[in-house]
């Protein structure tokens, strides 16, 4: 089995570059909002832009460019992207809102006490705007990567 083909796969490389860029872009955006660096964002979920949307959009668009936009592989990639983006903006977003509410209730109950409680993660999902920016980033990066790698 020759693994060097993986390193020449423009769809995979483009998707990984797009995901990495989305994760990296979260740092300066968060800094502009909160005026502090939060390095944990490099490996966390949630935030602007949606790295989930970026990754699956890059895979779908790259697959379309390489295999054809009328191919079954592109159809599968688009359906996968739809499910992931729906989940990121729907279910995971609601889970994050619930965690935020539970954390506020725990804080109210604990005022005046020395107890320390671990807080639940509040940024699990994405707003529609975060998903849309991830979608655009995925298309741009996959297009550039496929064009550069295919010559």
HEC string of 89-104 equals HCHHHHHHHHHHHHHH
**Residue 77 CA to its chain's centroid (Å):** 16
CB 46 within 8 A of CB 123: yes
User: Per-residue pLDDT tens for 19-40?
Assistant: 999 999 988 888 998 898 988 7
pLDDT of residue 146: 82
What tokens does 63 get? 């697959």
- For residue 140, pLDDT over 80 is answered with yes
46 vs 147: which has the higher pLDDT: 147
What tokens does 4 get? 């060097």
Calculate the average pLDDT of the chain: 82
Against a cut of 0.75, is the pTM above it? Answer: no
CB 11 within 8 A of CB 142: yes
85 vs 107: which has the higher pLDDT: 85
Residue 7 to residues 3, 82, 95, Cα–Cα distance (Å) = 7, 27, 36
- Give the phi and the psi of residue 104 in degrees, each rounded to 5: -65, -40
Please compute, for residue 8, the number of CA atoms within 13 A of its CA located in the half-sphere on the CB side.
6
């Amino acid at each position: 089995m020759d693994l060097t083909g993986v390193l020449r796969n423009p769809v995979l490389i483009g998707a990984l570059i797009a995901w990495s860029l989305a994760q990296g872009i979260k740092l300066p955006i968060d800094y502009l909002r909160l005026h502090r660096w939060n390095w944990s964002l490099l490996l966390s979920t949630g935030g602007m832009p949606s790295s989930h949307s970026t990754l699956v959009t890059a895979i779908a668009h790259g697959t379309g460019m390489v295999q054809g936009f009328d191919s079954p592989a592109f159809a599968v990639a688009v359906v996968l992207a739809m499910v992931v983006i729906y989940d990121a903006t729907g279910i995971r977003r609601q889970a994050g809102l619930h965690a935020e509410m539970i954390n506020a209730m725990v804080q109210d109950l604990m005022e005046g006490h020395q107890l320390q409680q671990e807080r639940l993660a509040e940024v699990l999902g994405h707003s529609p705007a975060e998903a849309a920016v991830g979608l655009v980033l995925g298309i741009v990066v996959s297009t550039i990567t496929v064009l550069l790698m295919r010559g």
